Structure 1
């Protein structure tokens, strides 16, 4: 019965959901967004093909290879243990991607439901939900994150979950704002009048049509999560048995070669900067592609 009812409002919602072919066309016309997409794909391919690109950076290298500058044999140089920094950067891409996506998943499971509920129902429910969100927004995140990361342990998965637990408030606010806008549309009122269940309205009509700003915010959360993990690893709170770009920087600082061996800190820093900027550019492209004013042209 609900499926029959939803067909009656399909004409309203289809206008909002738009044409994906047109969306992709707009996206690929956005040069910055395309650059970001290519950058993200490069890092993904490096992470996937890591076993074929570089040997795993494990154990200790040769004492004669300690802190060698970039050369044809070691294009990124070697670290204080004689290990190849190129291998460390390549394998570190996997950790950064893993942290970013675990943090995003945690943020989605917390932030999206809170934003949907508070934006759709309003009243006391919205007040309580946004009150909790505001409390998290006013908390000094980094010090508290350091404390929690030190307590729960320094596994890469644990660090990613901790980052996600502090990344959802912005997503909740974005989701609420988008939900408030969508919930006032005619097709939502039509769905209510036809007696469609609230849960179905929230998921199939509100969330789908409020997805544009949410997707943009997710790219920013991934970029922020990568930076946060690098910061925690630099402070010694990352995973000591898994290579990440932050761990490479921490090793450079701990060995005292942060400045003298410039290549030790330069290449992981460039990798972090490249990946974060790529995600920011990708978010700009997604925002442009999902702009309803451009899609209606």
Structure 2
């Protein structure tokens, strides 16, 4: 009995954290994300901004140039370091924009998902809207908009955010549907609670963990989307990102003669996406009582 009572008294957030830190993959991935965030913040102190030209062209990795050099003699290590700042900025800015402004991914997803689950009359048309949005060819539309508006950091963030909300809406809707059937939501309706009060007081807190997972996953997908657009020449030409490094390697013909020109930015993208996915999975398992108990 003494072993059960303290556990019952622990707050849900504390129980989730205790279960999360027991997951070695989740903790390791979270540490990797923190390291990448630290690199992004300290980029000016870790490497000089890669600009101009160098004498050592397409040199393989060496003690002088840890990741080798590109076709203009610029240090790829410096490009990766500064690319970490831009790639992570785009990734998390796309998610943050979606949350705070409400015109893009997560906020639209939350609004559509909750309304579709709570307001039964809106469920069919909103679900149809989500299905149609998911059926759209996202990459060609992103390429079209980025090409029409012009390549810039702001354009990439807005475009990526605007095309990220349908998947979030579907996940939030499924979670909100299960919450609306719970007894305490029926009790809130019985005592005369308004629809807005019930959504804010009961529905949104219940789907908040799903939103946290969606933010992390959307950020990792945003990095992939930015890399794809930059690889096609639609990135911001005045900044460095991992996608820009790949684009320069493709443009210069270094893809086949200098493996290091594409290996290191590809590894950076892979590490970020895998770490973000594993953190999301670990967090989701930690907050699930069934997997937490097992």
CA distance in 1, matches of 2:291, 2:193: 31
Q: CA deviation at 1:18?
A: 5.2
1:74 partner SS: coil
Q: CA RMSD, aligned part only?
A: 1.7
Question: 1:25-49 CA deviation, whole Å, 9 max, x = no partner?
Answer: 0001112211211111111011011
Deviation at 1:296, TM superposition (A): 7.0
SS in structure 1 of the partner of residue 59 of structure 2: coil
TM-score scaled by length of structure 2: 0.90
Residue 102 of structure 2 corresponds to residue 99 of structure 1: no
CA-to-aligned-CA distance 1:90-140 (integer Å, 9 cap, x gap):
1111111111122222311211101011111112x1111111111111111
Distance (whole Å) between structure 2 residues aligned to residue 108 and residue 262 of structure 1:
37
> Does residue 37 of structure 1 match 2:34?
no
1:111 aligns with 2:104: no
Partner of 2:247: 250
Partner of 1:8: none
1:175-194 equivalences under 5 Å are 175-194=172-191
Q: SS where residue 38 of structure 1 aligns?
A: helix
**Alpha-carbon deviations, 1:64-88, whole Å to 9, x = none?**
2221211111111111121111111
Listed as ranges, the gaps of 5+ residues in structure 2 are 1-7, 99-103
Count of residue correspondences: 279
Alpha carbons of structure 1 residues 295 and 206: separation in structure 2 relative to 1, 3 Å: farther
Greater relative contact order structure (CA < 8 Å, 6+ sep):
1
CA–CA distance in structure 1, aligned partners of residues 32 and 106 of structure 2: 24
For structure 1, the residue ranges without an aligned partner over 5 or more in a row are: 1-14
2:205 alignment counterpart: 208
Residue of structure 2 in register with 1:12 after alignment: none
- Taking the aligned partners of 1:259 and 1:157, their CA distance within structure 2 comes to 32
Structure 1 runs (4+) deviating above 6 angstroms are none
Alignment of 1:65-144 (within 5 A): 65-104=56-95, 105=98, 106-123=104-121, 125-144=122-141
Q: 109-118 vs 201-210, which deviates more?
A: 201-210
Q: Is the CA contact 2:285–2:292 (under 8 Å) kept in the aligned structure 1? A: no
Q: Structure 1 residue 200: deviation in Å?
A: 2.4
* Displacement after TM superposition at 1:235 (Å): 0.3
Determine the C-alpha separation between the residues in 1 that align with 2:198 and 2:291: 26
Question: Are the equivalent residues in 2 in contact too, given 1:30–1:288 (CA < 8 A)?
Answer: no
Q: Which of the numbers 27, 37, 46 marks the counterpart of 2:20?
A: 27
Answering whether residue 278 of structure 2 is matched by residue 281 of structure 1, we say yes
- Alignment match, 2:3: none
Q: CA deviation at 1:249?
A: 0.4
* Contact kept? 2:106, 2:211, Cα under 8 Å: no
CA distance in 1, matches of 2:38, 2:198: 38
**Using a 3 Å threshold, how does the CA distance of structure 1 residues 38 and 87 change in structure 2: closer, same or farther?**
same
Given that 2:231 and 2:247 are in contact with CA atoms closer than 8 Å, whether structure 1 keeps it comes out as: yes
Query: Are residues 1:230 and 2:222 paired?
Result: no
